[in-house]
Chains A and B, each alone.
Chain A
Amino acid sequence: MKKYALLTLAGSALFAATLSSCSSDKKNPEPQVDFNTLKTQVLTDFVDVVANPLYLDFKNKATDLNAAVTLLASNPTQANLEAARNAWRAVRVIWEQSEGFLIGPVDDDSYDPYMDTWPTDHNAMDNLLNSGTPLTLDYLAGLNNPEDEAELTLRGFHPLEYLLWDTDGNRQASSFTAREKEYMVALAGDILNNVTKLQASWLPGDIYFGKELATPGTGSRYENKHDALSAIASALTDICAEVGDGKMVDPFNPADSTKTESPYSHNSIADFKNNIIGARNVYLCTYNNKTGKSLSDLVKANNASLDNEIRQRFDIAISSFDGITTTFEQAIYNQRSQVQNTLGALSSLKESVEGKLIPYIKQYVTD
């Protein structure tokens, strides 16, 4: 028996040697990274490759929006209105993608409600526009006295969306009143302020959340790598749930288009799709054509089929949005099977992430 064991051992050693010589023949050998280093690198790369560049983009796009809205207010032509709308859409792309990782300051310091509260309060907006209250950034944000800041429903993307599109999506540039112009400038300025603060909070400074996430332990809100990695993975589940069990289902089940998120611009489908693209970017650690060590690599190290499954389900969910060929507000009445198809894809994606990715991290990342 001993002989056989020895033979087998020798055989498998030979086999292993052959295999490893095979892989070294490849043109671009992957640098070998052991699992321990990989865990750390997934965290640092997430911060350096995805989060920080995305937030920088977010700030740039918010700066563009601020400029476009200021220009529209001073020179209200239809072309400038279109430019402001495009700037609004462009900043929404980044914001929705950033919702693929709602962790850290955006969540703990309430940036989300400051920028993305829904619905808008029409009575309050009308009263505000008809009043003599100075419609300044200071009024919205309470710069001098935080207790004076305006209510969340008067701030952020959606009141601005209402001004740029109006309820019927048909706003004319010539129709803006002086008060509306003041209000839109204040809104864009408030968004820019919040995005700037949010971006800075990931960088060296008072908070430096990027470091907390990349180097968990003392001085971080994450105790260890497992804690930090599962926070990122949980954020993926959260966004799948928010889109698939919330934002889409809420108007879809009762077929009630007054419950959709971006009803004035009819941007809801793009919003949803960008949420899931943002989540995939997190999983693959890729942003703007740059890539790094990802959760995908981490999973592949011990369970290649799970990694395949998750990547496939991301792709299916994202492309399923293209099946909906009209606005979401229309689709919940006219394209219910297409919407249902997306909901199904989101549900199986969530199942893989929540039911397999998170347990995987629990099993393999114990430090």
Chain B
Amino acid sequence: MKKLSVVCCLLLIVFTGVLCRKAQPFPEESFDTRLSGGAATVFLSNSKAFGSEIPGLTGYDAFMHELGDLLFNQTFVSAPAPQFGGLGPIYNNVSCVSCHHNDGKGTPTMGLITSSLLTKISIPGTDIHGGALSIPGFGSQFQDKATSTKKAEGKITISYTEEPFSFADGEKASLRRPTYTPNNTYLPLPAGAMLSVRLAPPVFGLGLLELIPESTLLSYADETDANGDGISGRPNYVYNPHSRQREIGRFGLKGNNPNILVQVAGAFHQDMGITNYVFPEESSFGQIQYDPYDGTDIADSTLDAVVFYIRSLAVPARRNVTDPVALRGEQLFNQLNCSGCHIPTAYTGVDVRLPAISNQRIHAYTDLLLHDMGPGLADGRPDYLADGNEWRTPPLWGIGLFAKTNGTPFYLHDGRARTLMEAILWHGGEAERSKTAFTKLSKDDRDALIKFLSSL
């Protein structure tokens, strides 16, 4: 009996010990840093690196993804047409892929077939939902193309002035500052018209970003800069015409869209003039070139397939994760507090339909919040709560692959930066401190930081 009680006693101690041990987070170094999109990562670094489906789709989901892919690449024509009609009457381009080349970032020209810039326009004031106030006769986007019997709203001429920059050690860079001038408008533009020129961003990984809980984004916000780091991110809140609610803005370069559905539906509607169940009226509604309502141009399931395609695009893996120079760059990225806005790690919420994006640890390098980027980058056009100086932090994942997916890489909201170095130097406002610190780094350290960015 004595023996038994000793054994019991020992067992009790062991069990108590086990129970005392609390669940610990998986240690940081045990994660594979290549997995930028968690389980939704693909190991591709070529021109198709942004165009892969998330691993583990079911047969039906893979079919829907493929269908969405075809539609994303499909050129639309004017109605009536046996297939793919509904383009225009006014539009900016004829397919999704014309702007989002290889699902990535496009080319900063306007009015060409290969152009990926568009111009949001408005006059001072807000509409009933708190959004930008449309310009009578033009709407909220400047369509620079039209079908053969209609007139484009006009053209926008881009000119650049080169502004030299020198580092203390003599290395030189040149920043090209753009000027955008509307001309040949089909009606006179009113005085005080505000223009915001924006380059098509990459479209992968958005399913993950959509799943980051709102509470996480709000935890990043620091509107009064209580921690005194010079960074005061805040969320945009926008009107969702589908749910008819005010929701947090995640997508669009000013956080001006609540989710992938509204983003994609809006692109069909404004960029291509294709009406759909979210936006059933032509983009020329209320204008002299309005065509009476004749049903939506695409089926509901067509829009849903494209939305699913975007949601199920995987993130390319990070490369060179053991390269000491890139790792040094990563250290500097954190030291300079670039990571203050480009927050490296986040966790997605749960979506039981798509396990690969559900509950994932991801490295998007964004807080999806608005930040004052200074007068150099300001567009001067408010968009919901975003003022004329504010932009939403863009994700940095995949930024090292732009040269692969687009031939020539371009960076920032309107593609003015031709190199990552130029892109960093344009940062101002809340990023002024980090930018200044970057300019004071040694050449080796600057190169290391860029090497790190290129590894993303």
List A residues at the B interface (Cβ < 8 Å). 103, 107-110, 113-114, 117-124, 127-128, 131, 146-147, 149, 151-153, 221, 227, 230-231, 234, 238, 245-246, 250, 258-259
Q: Mark B34-46, 1 if CB is under 8 A from A, else 0.
A: 0000000000111
Shortest CB-to-CB span from A137 to chain B, Å, is: 16
11 A-B residue pairings within 8 Å (CB atoms): A107-B47, A108-B407, A110-B113, A114-B113, A119-B77, A119-B82, A121-B77, A124-B148, A149-B112, A153-B94, A234-B48
* CB-nearest residue of chain A to B114: A110
Please determine whether B75 and A152 come into contact, CB atoms closer than 8 angstroms: yes
Residues of chain B within 8 A (CB-CB) of A250 are 70
Shortest CB-to-CB span from A256 to chain B, Å, is: 8
Give A236 to B364 CA distance when docked, in angstroms: 31
Give A119 to B113 CA distance when docked, in angstroms: 16
Answer yes or no: B436 CB below 8 A from chain A CBs: no
Residues of chain A within 8 A (CB-CB) of B81 are 119, 121-123
* Apart from the given pairs A103-B47, A123-B148, A124-B148, 16 other A-B contacts in the complex at a CB distance below 8 Å: A108-B408, A110-B101, A117-B75, A121-B81, A123-B77, A123-B80, A127-B149, A128-B148, A151-B94, A152-B75, A152-B94, A153-B94, A230-B46, A234-B48, A246-B66, A258-B83
Answer yes or no: B78 CB below 8 A from chain A CBs: yes
Residues of chain B within 8 A (CB-CB) of A110 are 101, 113-114
* CB-nearest residue of chain A to B157: A147
Give A146 to B145 CA distance when docked, in angstroms: 13
List B residues at the A interface (Cβ < 8 Å). 44-48, 66, 70, 75, 77-84, 87, 94, 98, 101-102, 111-114, 145, 147-149, 155, 403-404, 406-408
Interface of A is mostly: helix
Give A246 to B74 CA distance when docked, in angstroms: 11
Please determine whether A123 and B147 come into contact, CB atoms closer than 8 angstroms: yes
Residues of chain B within 8 A (CB-CB) of A258 are 82-83
Please determine whether B98 and A246 come into contact, CB atoms closer than 8 angstroms: no
**Also in contact, A231 and B47, with CB within 8 A (given A113-B113, A151-B113, A153-B94):** yes
**Also in contact, A147 and B148, with CB within 8 A (given A113-B113, A121-B77):** no
Interface of B is mostly: loop
Residues of chain A within 8 A (CB-CB) of B145 are 151
Shortest CB-to-CB span from A222 to chain B, Å, is: 9
Give A120 to B148 CA distance when docked, in angstroms: 14
Please determine whether B47 and A108 come into contact, CB atoms closer than 8 angstroms: yes
Shortest CB-to-CB span from A261 to chain B, Å, is: 11
* CB-nearest residue of chain B to A259: B83
Shortest CB-to-CB span from A103 to chain B, Å, is: 7
Please determine whether B48 and A238 come into contact, CB atoms closer than 8 angstroms: yes
**Also in contact, A234 and B46, with CB within 8 A (given A113-B98, A246-B70):** yes
Residues of chain B within 8 A (CB-CB) of A119 are 75, 77, 81-84
Give A122 to B77 CA distance when docked, in angstroms: 8
Residues of chain B within 8 A (CB-CB) of A121 are 77-78, 81, 87
Give A110 to B94 CA distance when docked, in angstroms: 14
Residues of chain A within 8 A (CB-CB) of B66 are 245-246
Give A127 to B77 CA distance when docked, in angstroms: 13
Shortest CB-to-CB span from A288 to chain B, Å, is: 27
**Also in contact, A120 and B77, with CB within 8 A (given A153-B94, A227-B45, A245-B66):** yes
